[in-house]
Amino acid sequence: MAVIVILKSGQTFADSPVTFDVLTTIDYPGAVHTGAGGINDRGEVTGWALNDQVMRGYVRFANGEFSALFAEPNAVNGETWPFGINNARTICGWYPSSSGDRGFVLSDSIFTDVIIDASYTHVSGINDAGNLCGLIDYETQSFVRIDGTVTVFSVPGAAYTEAFGINNLNQVVGSYATTEGVFGFRRDVDGTLTYPIGAPTAQYTYLIGINDNGQMVGRATDQRGRNHGIFFASPRLSALYDYPGASDIWFEGINNRGQICGYYFDSVNHGLILRVRPTIGQ
Write the single-letter amino acid at 141: Q
State which fold the 4-277 domain adopts.
Answer: Neuraminidase (2.120.10)
How many beta carbons lie within 10 A of that of residue 7, not counting itself?
16
pLDDT band at 200 (very low <50, low <70, confident <90, very high): confident
DSSP for residue 158: -
pLDDT, tens digit, 9 for 90 and up, residues 102-140? 999 999 999 999 999 989 999 999 999 999 999 998 878
- Percentage above 90 pLDDT, the chain: 86
pLDDT at res. 12 = 59
* CA 261, chain centre distance (Å): 9
CA-CA distance, 60 to 43, in Å (whole number)? Answer: 9
pLDDT, tens digit, 9 for 90 and up, residues 31-78? 999 999 999 999 999 999 998 899 999 999 999 999 999 999 999 999
Which of these, 58, 50, 48, 56, lies nearest to 72 by C-alpha position?
Answer: 56
* Three-state secondary structure readout of 23-40: EEEECCCCCCEEEEEEEC
